Amino acid sequence: MRKPLWMLAVSVITVALVGGCSSSSVPTTGSSASTPAATGSAESSKKDVTLTYIASQGWIKDTEMQLAKKFESETGIRIDYQIIPADQYFNVLKTKLNAKEGPDLFGGQSGKSEISLNYNVEKNAVDLSDQEWVKREDKLSLEQLSLNGKVYALTIWDTGNSFVVVYNKKIFEKLGLHIPKTYEEFKQASLKIKQAGITPLYEPIADGWHHVLWFAEPGPRYDEVTPNLYNDLNANKKKFVDDPTMKASLTQLKEMYDLGFFGDNAFSDTGADTANKLASGKYAMALSTQSTPNDVAKVNPEWKAEDFGFFPIPLADNQFYYINPGGPSKFVYSGSKHIEEAKQYLAFLAKPENLQYMVDNDKTVSNLNFSGLKDKYTEEQKKLFAAYPKRGTDIQDYVNYVNPQWMDMGKDIVAMFSQSMEPADVLKSIDKRRSDMAGVAKDPAWAK
C-alpha cells in the first residue's frame, strides 16, 4: 500500500515545462482569436510571471503541458506544475488552504459537497462565473462546480469516458463466454476464466481509490431498485446501511475478492500497470477507461485495440451506463497575487482550438465536456453506448458527502477484504462520515 493520506511528509515532483510537443503541433492562435487580455501576443505586453499550480498525480495531461508551453511563449506567463502523489494530495491541499498559503492554481475534484467542504471555495477560490468558457461548458459539469449560483472552477475532462469493465474478447471467445447481464453470470464467467489459469481481473488496490469505483459507479442501479433513493439520501430520509441493494453490491465485491478474482497481488498492484497486465494475456479483464485498449496495443503489438470490448460493472445486476459529469477541476486561489493571470491561463486552455487539440492528441480522451468539439469515439465505444441505453449519474456526483470521503471508503473496503469489517460496517462508516460532514456544513436536513 502507498503511504496513507494523513501523512504530511510529501514527495513533490515539480514538472518543468521543457522539451518538445507531440507529433501534432500545438495550435497557433490567429489574430481573429486574439485579444490583448486573452493572449498578450505582443512582445511588449508579455509578463514575467510564474503561476504555481498543484495537482494530484494523473490530473495534468501531457497535452495541457504542451499548451502551457505555448501559453508561456505568447504571454511570458510560466506554469510551474507541482504534482503530488494521489494518496497524499488532499491532505497537502487542505494544509495549504488552512494556512492561507495556497498556490495560484489548485486542482480538485468537482461536486457540491466536495467544493464546499474540502476546499471551502466561497472563501478559498475565485468566482469565475463571468468567464466566456462558462457558456460552452457542459451544464452538468458546471452544476458540480457551482455554489449559490457562482461557478468556482473549470473542468476539462472526458466526463463521458466512464470506467467500465474492459474485457479480452479472444479469451471470452475461447472459453465460450458472453457479456454478463447479471452478477451471477459475471461470477460464473470469472470462475471459468480462473479455472483456465487466467486471472479474471486486474484490480489496483494499492492506489487507494480505484477499488471504490466498483461500489460507487453502479449508483443508478441502487436508485432504480429503491426509487428516489438519491434524493432521500440527500434529504437525510434514508441511510446507506438501510439500503439492501448497496449491501448486496458490497457483499458481491467481497465475494469477488474472496474467490481470488483479483489475483494474489491486488494489494500491491497499481493502476499505472493496467495496460501492461492486460497486454500480458494473463488477465482477462480490468475496470478501466475506454482508452485502455489503445494502451494495450501499444505495449504489445500482438494485440489490437479491437480485441477488447466493454461492459458496465454488473454488481447488483447493474445494466446502467453510469455517467460522471464531474472530474478533476482547476481552481484559482483567492489569495493569489496573480488572479488575472490565472484566469487568463484557464481562458487559454478553454479556447475551442485548444480543447480540440487535447481531444486529437490525447489517447486517453475521446471527447471533452464542451460544445462544438469533434469526438473520436471508437466502434467499440459506440457499441457500448448502443447496448446500454439506460443512463444515470454515479452516486458520488449526485449524493452529498460521498465524494469527499472517497479515500476513507477505500480504506473501509480494504478492511472488508481483510475480514475486519463487514459490508454493513462499511455502510455504517459512510453514514457516520456523511453525518459529520453535514454537521460541519450545517445542512438543515441533518438538523431535524
Give the per-residue pLDDT at 5: 33
- Prediction pTM value: 0.75
Residues 6+ apart with CB under 8 A from 161: 289, 290, 291, 364, 365, 366, 367
Mean pLDDT of the chain: 90
pLDDT in tens, 70-114: 999 999 999 999 999 988 999 999 999 999 999 999 999 998 878
Please identify every stretch of the chain with a pLDDT value under 70, giving residue numbers as ranges. Answer: 1-25, 28-44, 448
Residue 398's identity, in one-letter code, is Y
pLDDT tens, 161-217?
Answer: 899 999 999 999 999 999 999 999 999 999 999 999 999 999 999 999 999 999 999
Per residue in 27-57, pLDDT (tens digit) is: 764 433 333 334 444 455 788 999 999 999 9
